[in-house]
Amino acid sequence: MDPKQLSAANSSARLQAALVAGTQADPALAGALVARCAVEPDFFVRDMLTWALTRLPVGVTVPKLLGELRSGVPQARSQALHTLSKIGDRSAWPSITRALLHDADEEVARSAWRAAVVLVPADEREELAVDLAAQLGRGDRAMRLSLSRALAELGDEAALGPGLASLDPAVRAHARATRRLLRDPDAGFDLGVDEAKRIVALGPERAGETAC
């Protein structure tokens, strides 16, 4: 196929082009697919681009995606991280840096968390959990839920200790909700947040009386 089809004006045409690229699985298209990920505005097209990249040889795609992690374009970094998490090649782990895990762009950081949980070696899971837990309280509900899910996947409750003892009510609330999610994935994140908010609303003096 002609790589220019990936840049068609119509999103449906771009979606079809990405589908064809994935079906053909031509390694020669890797560069065009990665480049399009950095600028594609449509979520569904980006998802199809990622699928197409997962169909290509790891030796071709991973080096190109790792290069995108150094891009000054947030979407380039985010989509590269997302795609690396889908490919699951653990050789990419050393490139999931603390700078990416703490990226100022929230979508980049969320993508880095997901990729890190997939790629982290067993002997570095504890260190990763501590690093992620240092960001408890960050962002809106979607951001906090992403972080909680990553921490729950790592399964290291001890990493929540500093957050549970934090003087910042938002951090404590997030830590409590994360602990609930970790202990009982079916309990629901919002329930944990609501309970934590009630505790915070009581004020620091009475919060300790209701701590669980």
Q: Mind listing the pLDDT tens digit for each residue in 40-51?
A: 999 999 999 999
Domains of the chain, with CATH numbers?
A: 1-119 (1.25.10.10), 125-212 (no CATH)
Q: What's residue 211's pLDDT?
A: 41
Phi, psi torsion values for 40, nearest 5 degrees: -65, 120
Rounded-to-integer distance, Cα 159 and Cα 178, Å = 11
Q: How many CA atoms lie within 13 A of 160 on its CB side?
A: 24
Under 8 Å between Cβ of 43 and 15? no
What's the pLDDT tens digit per position in 198-210? 544 544 444 444 4
Contact 34, 64 (CB under 8 A): yes
Picking from 26, 30, 74, 28, the residue whose alpha carbon sits closest to that of residue 50 is 30
How far apart CA 46 and CA 55 sit, in angstroms, is 15
The predicted pLDDT at position 201 comes to 53
Contacts of 210 (CB under 8 A, 6+ apart): 198, 199, 202
- Distance, in Å, from the CA atom of 141 to the CA atom of 98, rounded to the nearest integer, reads 22
Beta strand ranges found along the chain (DSSP E): none
Low-confidence ranges of the chain (pLDDT < 70): 187-212
Q: How confident is the model over 157-169, as pLDDT tens digits?
A: 999 999 999 999 9
How far is 188 from 150, CA to CA, in rounded Å?
A: 15
Residues 6+ apart with CB under 8 A from 99: none
Q: For residue 104, give the DSSP letter.
A: S
**What pLDDT, on the 0 to 100 scale, is given for residue 60?**
96
